[in-house]
Amino acid sequence: MIKKLLLIVLGMVFGEITILAQSDEEVKKGMMVRQEAQYKRVLESQNATNISSKMNISGIIIDDNGNPLNDVELEFNFSRAKGWESESLNKKVVSKSRFSFTQSGYTGVTVYFRKKGYFSETRFYGTYQASKYLKNKTYTQTDEKIVLREKGKFAKIDIFDKKLKYSFSKKTKGICDVSNLSYETFPIDKKIDCSKYIYLDFERNQDGEIIMTQNHLGHLIPKGPIVRYFSKDSNDGFILVEPPKDITYLTTAPDTAYNIKEIKIPYGIDRIYFYYRNGKSYGKGFVGYANSAFQESRVTLYLMQNNENDPNEKYNLRSDER
């Protein structure tokens, strides 16, 4: 009797397992059917958008003096959505100063303008972003102006690219020794054994102590990061400039007016650009990305310094480094 009951129970259990397995398989099939249907709808919508999209772009390519430039290579990278992924089409042509192109069936294109001896330029055009040139999914722009800057003679340049650190836990601070563009670390309470250097400091009270403040998390951090330039040469210092598109736009160092010895860097700011003077040498660079965490404060210092022997080239700061 007990054996019979056991067999009945086992049969019920295995039967339930079989039903659950079948149900699980049905759920998976249902999910796949719904996913396929959703994918089909997305694909149909994208195809409709792609078919109706068109781009007509034309304009002129000039140098930074306004003169037309011929023999410019244009590389096109057309793109469009396809389901959960995307498709692309690449083309290359050599164009005269006046250029134009038309393409249907794609919703975006990245165009690279290149010519030997000039900095390249990149443009993006799309039929899915609001624009005065977009109407009925057709992007038409006939007045595009592309300016390619001549590279000119690049200067021999030394580079310093480090984070200046001020560690409260280790009681050390890092500096840039401007005499040889090297990174050095010194104890906070010791005299810095360098004739000229750039270092990270903060706002201080009348007693010379660092003023502390709270960040958005309620943590205590030093107030008002400052990058200071110490030099006994009164001609050394910074000249702050308006943020360029990139550092290659800073091409020629001014001769005088390097009267700034400190740069205040608000937390969260990206970059502050400048020219600087180091004795008979000139350079360019930026500071930024100040942050404090885990008992240590940091700020990025990037310098590019002229290293030419020719005195006629000492103001030249042309570079290919972006």
CA pair distance 74, 115, nearest whole angstrom: 9
Q: Do both 265 and 287 map to the same domain?
A: yes
Task: Please tell me the distance from the alpha carbon of residue 298 to that of residue 200, in angstroms, as a whole number.
Answer: 8
| Domains contained in the chain, number | 2
CA 297 to chain CA centroid, nearest Å: 22
What's the confidence (pLDDT) of residue 13?
46
Same domain for 109 and 171? no
3-state secondary structure at position 173: strand
Q: Collapsing DSSP states into helix, strand and coil, what is residue 248?
A: helix
Secondary structure percentages of the chain, helix, strand, coil, to 5: 20, 50, 35
A 10 A CB-CB count for 279 gives: 13
Domain that holds residue 143: 52-148
Token representation of residue 109: 């294109």
| Residues 173, 138 share a domain | no
For residue 88, what is the domain's CATH number?
2.60.40.1120
Q: Which of 148, 165, 191 delimits the end of a domain?
A: 148
Task: Look up residue 256 and give its amino acid.
Answer: T
What's the pLDDT score for residue 30?
73
Residue 318: inside a domain, yes or no? Answer: no
Locate 76 and state its tokens: 């096109």
Same domain, 128 and 181: no
pTM attached to this predicted model: 0.79
> What amino acid is encoded at 87 in this protein?
E
* Residue 40, domain member (yes or no): no
User: Of 93, 126, 148, which one is at a domain's C-terminal end?
Assistant: 148
Question: What pLDDT score does 130 carry?
Answer: 87
Model pLDDT, residue 322: 62
List, in order, residues 6 or more apart from 263 with CB less than 8 Å away: 226, 227, 238, 240, 272, 274, 287
What is d(CA 298, CA 295) in angstroms, rounded to the nearest whole number? 10
Asked if 197 and 303 count as a contact pair (C-beta separation under 8 A), the reply is no
Residues in contact with 163: Cβ distance below 8 Å, sequence separation at least 6, in sequence order? 174, 298, 299, 300, 301
183 with 279, same domain: the answer is yes
Q: What is the pLDDT of residue 63?
A: 96
Q: Enumerate residue ranges in the chain where pLDDT < 50.
A: 5-10, 13-14
Question: Is residue 104 assigned to a domain?
Answer: yes
Biggest CA pair distance of the chain? 111
Closest CA to 69 of 5, 13, 130, 121: 121
Q: Using CA atoms, how far apart are residues 297 and 293, in angstroms rounded to an integer?
A: 6
Tell me, yes or no, whether 267 and 123 share the same domain.
Answer: no
